[in-house]
Structure 1
Amino acid sequence: MAKEKEVSGKLEWRVNEPDGTSRVLVPESELGHKAWLLWLKGLFYRPISKIWRFLDKSWNLGVAEPQKVIHGAKVGLALLIVSIFYYNQNLYDGVGGYATWAIMTVVVVFESNVGATLSKCINRATGTFLAGSLALGVQWIACKSGETFKPIIIGISVFILAWLQFLAIENQVDKLFAFASQRFSTIAVGISLCIIISMLFCPIWAGSELHNLIVRNLEKLADSLEGSVAEYFKDDKTVLGNEEDPSIRIEGYKCVLNSKATEDVMANFARWEPAHGLFNFRHPWKQYLMIGASMRNCAYCIEALNSCVNSEIQAPDYLKKHFSNACMILSSNSSEVLRELAYTMKTMTKSSKIDFLVEEINLAVLELQDSLKSVPNSPIEPT
């Protein structure tokens, strides 16, 4: 049953429910109006929310990895400039309508660091020059050798794209040389533009990246060594709530073990780079690979030590207590040497206390050897 009630000058319909309550009966016109508003809101809200989420993710990526943003901006700038040859009619006619090769060159050779870009630019220029020279030579030989050898030579050159493009000109030598010069000029424009933008606008040097990687790995190795020994000899009854999770420091050696491929690639690209910053021409980049190999040998030892920490079978407490002091001193001194080496590499200066730290390591080794000679056979009872 429905009741009609006047509220604030308006009619309100209520429907009595079987349980004795009543509810307001909303007119169908009002429901349609609300549905229309919800549809209109969704129509504008969804694209705006997607755009906002995209901008938020882009901002977070830029904050977390600014080098990717810089690289993207540099590639966009290079493509913007080289596209002028495609959209400007005078420049387009000047390169014979082959402006697309300049754009393709930018896409192919532009890399995130200067060394990789220079390496690809040189390879691109060398490959184009050799392919063009071979194509011109094949064209000349085919013209001079007569009809007997011409099909054979053309059949051999069919596997190389550049040769096919040159040979498609047939026997018109003037057009052949014009095509070759225009092709070389567009590629030269793309290569020059990539080198200039890569080296002048926020350059990312592979040598600096390799240098910083070695420094970070030395610091992680020091923290991992000290943390592993401290974790093994710690007192289970002692709870240090203010310190960070020790497993984060201990796992640092894994970064050293997994960095070999990155070190090899960066060292290869660094050889192509000119002198920059603190790195002169013919900088000994191979020495960085030797340092990385030595650090990985140390990381393998830490990995073996870490397996002892996580092993189900542990040494007796009295043995841990006997070796605790000597091992803690040795690990602390070794970590100090690694941190001093990291600081020396970071500042590229000669350390004034490295000899003193090495001498302390030798004394700690002698102390550990003395502890090994006096290993107790059974737990020492307190008196």
Structure 2
Amino acid sequence: MGSTLIDIPEAEGVVVPCSKQKTNKFVDICCRPMVSFLRETKNNRHGLRKVIHSVKVGLALVTVSLLFLLDPLYKGVGENAMWAIMTVVLIFEFFAGATLSKGVNRGIGTTLGGGLGCLAAALAQAVGGVGKAMIVGITVFIFGAAATYTRQVPKLKRRFDYGAMIFILTFNLVVVSGLRAEQVFEIARDRLSAIAIGFAVCLFVSLLVFPIWAGDELHDSVVSRFELLAISLQGFSKEYFGNVDENEKKTGFNFGSKCKSVLHTKTKDETLVNFAKWEPCHGKFGIFYPWGKYLTIGEDLRDLATIILSLKPCLKSTIQPSENSTLGQSVKEPCEAIVASQARMLSELGESMKKMKKCESEDKILLKLKSMRQELSLVATPSTVGINHSDKTEGLGLASFVYSMMEMIEKMEELAKQVEQLGQLGGFS
């Protein structure tokens, strides 16, 4: 029997067919977000990785759910299969290193907590009577307090905080259940095996199915900051020395925004370094790759960004030498050349790290920086800055600018040395 479309009047004598227009509206409403999402995902690498991670979590959950759905597997694992599902939900993280870290922590915490909990429960049952409750209370207090204290030690907290929390939870559950369950050892064994199955599934999917490495993310993130600071230096040079063209004035280029984005990276670096240390060999990164060097380089980059930002007030300062003044003309050319050279150095160092190759001009960079320092010291002499009655104000402004430039050169030297050390330890070709 065929379907009939009914025309519904919407206004005075106006009849709108409900077939094509409403169907098109419905399709448009439903499909437009999906099309936009697919387009954004295609052009956005991070968005694509989010989709991959979501699919991987779904795949892991389906795999462990088979322990419930298939009778042969259910008979072997039983109701403890729920612990495998909980393990997947709790430890599957975006980065492979984070999943491995949480999985190992959960395994260690569960094993230690379950083992010590079984011993405490067995001791309490052997004593019996009032002594049973006393032993349970004492052991819960001692182990709970000790594990909580370790969570406040910075080095242990970074790597084993999750394991300490799982230890506290498992120990208390086993001890308390041991008071009323005679088969506490069997329960602990079954739950541990279910957790191991869940961890194995997470490990398999995370490491073998389109793995997302924290080490790659850390490396790319640090490398990108070199270019950001290079662009910031070029932007400052154009604004300070009056080389901004009309298009840049219209777009309103702000070099300070890129520096600020570099400043807010400390927590990200520390987190990624911690995850990267857990990851196995992948790509050009070996087991003993010096991930800690990225923290030092990241700190130097943040210091450099701070110095560049400190130059921003010079743009609007009234005590800076004017471009047409004798003082301004005498320092413009050398300072402009120094800033441009430092921007090129940052790009070269970033490119060296990106390709994991030794920078051919690394030694030349250090020599250039030393010559820059000497050149700036000549620019900053009293005769050059002209601190006298006529242009004392301009001389003070120039002196503050030159001092910031000297700080930048010193930080660049330190940064170049750190990149060189990373190349030596990391085996750059």
Q: Output the TM-score relative to the length of structure 1.
A: 0.81
Between the aligned partners of 2:252 and 2:335, the Cα distance in structure 1 is 18
Note if 1:185 corresponds to 2:193: yes
Q: CA deviation at 1:349?
A: 1.6
> Which range moved further: 243-252 or 219-228?
243-252
C-alpha contact (below 8 Å) 2:214/2:272 kept by paired residues: yes
Checking the alignment, whether the CA contact within 8 Å between 1:225 and 1:250 is kept in structure 2 is no
1:131-142 → structure 2 map (5 Å cutoff): 131-142=113-124
Q: Does 1:58 align with 2:68?
A: no
CA distance in 1, matches of 2:25, 2:119: 62
> How many residues were matched structurally?
348
1:49 Cα offset (Å): 3.7
What's the secondary structure of 1:193's corresponding residue?
helix
What residue in structure 1 maps to residue 295 of structure 2? Answer: 289
Partner of 2:265: 259
| Residue 146, structure 1, aligned to residue 156, structure 2 | no
The partner residue of 2:224 within 199, 211, 216 is 216
Q: CA RMSD in A?
A: 3.0
C-alpha change, 1:49 and 1:165, in structure 2 (3 Å) is farther
CA distance in 1 between counterparts of 2:18 and 2:335 reads: 70
Is 1:359 equivalent to 2:367 in the alignment?
A: yes
**Per the alignment, in what secondary structure is the counterpart of residue 251 of structure 1?**
helix
Check the 8 A contact 1:231/1:246 in 2, yes or no: no
Which residue is 2:101 aligned to? 119
Alignment of 1:199-278 (within 5 A): 199-235=207-243, 239-241=245-247, 245=251, 247-278=253-284
Provide structure 1 residue ranges, at least 5 long, that are not aligned to the other structure.
Answer: 1-27
CA contact (8 A) 1:132 1:180 kept: yes
Q: Which residue of 2 aligns with 1:305?
A: 311
> Any conservation in 2 of the 1:337–1:358 contact (CA below 8 Å)?
no
Match of 1:346 in 2: 354
Provide the C-alpha distance between the structure 2 equivalents of 1:273 and 1:95, rounded to a whole number of angstroms: 30
1:320 aligns with 2:328: yes
CA 1:29–1:170: 2 relative to 1, 3 Å: closer
More displaced, 46-55 or 254-263?
46-55
State the one-letter code of the partner of 1:111.
E
Share of identical aligned residues, percent? 35
Deviation at 1:164, TM superposition (A): 3.6
Structure 1 CA distance for aligned equivalents of residues 11 and 246 of structure 2: 62
Deviation at 1:368, TM superposition (A): 3.0
> What is the deviation of 1:366?
2.8
- The AA in structure 2 aligned to 1:127 is G
TM-score by length of 2: 0.73
C-alpha deviation, 1:316, in angstroms: 2.7
The structural deviation recorded for 1:82 is 1.1
One-letter amino acid matched to 2:379? S
Aligned-pair distance for 1:61? Answer: 4.4
Paired residues of 2:97 and 2:214 also in contact (CA < 8 A): yes
Measure the CA separation in 1 of the matches of 2:13 and 2:62: 49
Instruction: Note the C-alpha offset of 1:86.
Output: 1.7
1:344 CA displacement: 1.2
- Contact 2:118 2:174 (C-alpha < 8 Å) held by counterparts: no
Matched with 1:16 is: none
Deviation at 1:278, TM superposition (A): 0.9
Query: How far off is 1:50 after superposition?
Result: 3.8
Q: Which residue of structure 1 lines up, in the alignment, with residue 398 of structure 2?
A: none
- Partners of 2:120 and 2:21 in 1: CA distance: 68
TM-aligned CA distance change 1:109 to 1:29, over 3 Å: closer
* One-letter code aligned to 1:278: K
Instruction: Supply the AA of the counterpart residue of 1:257.
Output: L
Query: Structure 2 unaligned runs (5+)?
Result: 1-7, 145-167, 392-429
> Once the two structures are superposed, what CA deviation does each residue of 1:21-56 show, in whole Å capped at 9, x if it has no partner?
xxxxxxx989699668459965x5665344213313
Matched, 1:109 2:91: yes
Q: Tell me, in whole angstroms, the C-alpha distance in 1 between the residues paired with 2:208 and 2:228.
A: 33
- For the pair 1:68 / 2:50, whether they are aligned, the reply is yes
SS of structure 1 residue aligned to 2:89: helix
SS of residue in 1 equivalent to 2:321:
coil
Is 1:48 aligned to residue 27 of structure 2? yes
Q: Structure 1 segments of 4 or more deviating over 6 A?
A: 28-33
Paired residue for 1:375? 385
Structure with a larger share of its residues in helix = 2
